[in-house]
Structure 1
Amino acid sequence: MCTLEKHGDVFILTLTGSSDLDEHRFSPPVIDSILAALSQARAQATPGSVLITTSHGKFFSNGFDLAWAQAAGSRTGARERLHHMIEIFKPIVAAMISLPMPTVAAVNGHAAAAGFVLVLSHDYALMRGDKGVLYMSEVDIGLTLPDYFAALFRAKIGSALVRRDILLRATKIKGEEAVKMGIVDSAHDSMEEVTEASLRLGKELASKKWSGEVYAEIRKSLYPELCGVLGLVEKAVIANSSL
């Protein structure tokens, strides 16, 4: 599940679990919890708001809850459950791309598959250099990519060679490598350093007091293909009262 706390202008969305080994898998209840938190942040947004997403324990997120899908008891049932998770996770990516505030992923552990997708849905990503990897497991486990996954990777990772290694070689990428590849902004030596750096960045962005609506529309304009897949429509916004 997740929690949402507000400290001044900074919202902190935390993926929570029962132990440090909780993988923060995206089951339908977890997806619903995240969507509710994003909706709350959107409703409470003011100029200068920022969202930081983090997690408890060893994992940021290990992706969809495949055990829940397999518990359906049949191949057809498992596929239907997986398809359901793919469909209801799409609004999370849409909500992140249209959220009226800057967003920062504080990646303090492993982020795989849909967990990696959640990281890329943020404007900024900070990661541990000592532990944790980014990993797209689909080619290893025999699953194709949802259309919005592929569109997000094309939008956020400019190098075709990097995308090839992530998606067609299932390369597990550590923090310093991720910085060199242009996937994350910085790598840090511990969970505490990731948290501190994310908060510094969040407060710096909050101090700008930007219009969230303008910020969201500019973000959307950067990724037209992705927004088309997500069903997001751009609109013109003028927040300057002197114009």
Structure 2
Amino acid sequence: MSDSFRKVVAAFVSLPMPTVAAVSGYVAAAILVLAFAHDYLLMRSDRGVMYMLEVNLGITLPDYFAAAMRAKIGSPVALRDVVARGVKVRAKEDVKMGIVHSTHDSVEGTVEVAMRLGEELAGKKWVGEIYAEIRKSLYPEMCSTLGLTNNVIVSKI
């Protein structure tokens, strides 16, 4: 599963447009890594919970799982709690930690805001290839473990 899932995560990170994940409940393990492959992560406030259960199961993390966690969880304390302690973090706390972009009161509300954000971002009419390269440059360690490289694109300006 690890190598085939690595390709899925790499594909999301390489997409030529911004991506938004709307999470309506628990997000753990591989699904959390997939959520972290998106640019924006929105969660339902009353049921949204994220956690990495591997430590509780005695399972090691694939290198790209750990790299994704380090890329998307900025606080060393939060990173330790989520990855090395297996703490279940509720959606509102995820926002305070800077892991989740926003929380919403219902599934419908979460999806509605995610769709609105997606439409807003699509309206920017950014050059997809440039966007993908900028995204990859933000997370060099994660991209390296995924086997992704940055391409140098010469500006037309």
Q: TM-score, normalised by structure 2?
A: 0.96
Aligned pairs (5 A) from 1:85-234: 85-234=1-150
Structure having greater relative contact order (Cα 8 Å, sep ≥ 6) = 2
Aligned pairs (5 A) from 1:24-43: none
Could you tell me how far 1:226 is from its partner in structure 2?
1.3
Q: Deviations over 1:19-75 (max 9, x none)?
A: xxxxxxxxxxxxxxxxxxxxxxxxxxxxxxxxxxxxxxxxxxxxxxxxxxxxxxxxx
For 2:9, the aligned partner's letter is: V
Whole-angstrom CA distance in 2 between matches of 1:214 and 1:168: 35
Unaligned runs of 5+ in 2: none
How many pairs were matched up? 157
Q: TM-score, normalised by structure 1?
A: 0.63
Whole-angstrom CA distance in 1 between matches of 2:142 and 2:112: 31
Whole-angstrom CA distance in 1 between matches of 2:31 and 2:92: 19
Q: Deviations over 1:98-118 (max 9, x none)?
A: 111000000112111001111
Could you tell me how far 1:184 is from its partner in structure 2?
0.5
For 1:186, the aligned partner's letter is: S
For 1:118, the aligned partner's letter is: L
Whole-angstrom CA distance in 2 between matches of 1:169 and 1:183: 17
Equivalence for 1:65 = none
CA RMSD of aligned residues (A): 1.1
Percent identity between matched residues is 59
Equivalent pair of 1:211/1:239 in contact (CA under 8 Å):
no
Could you tell me how far 1:239 is from its partner in structure 2?
6.2
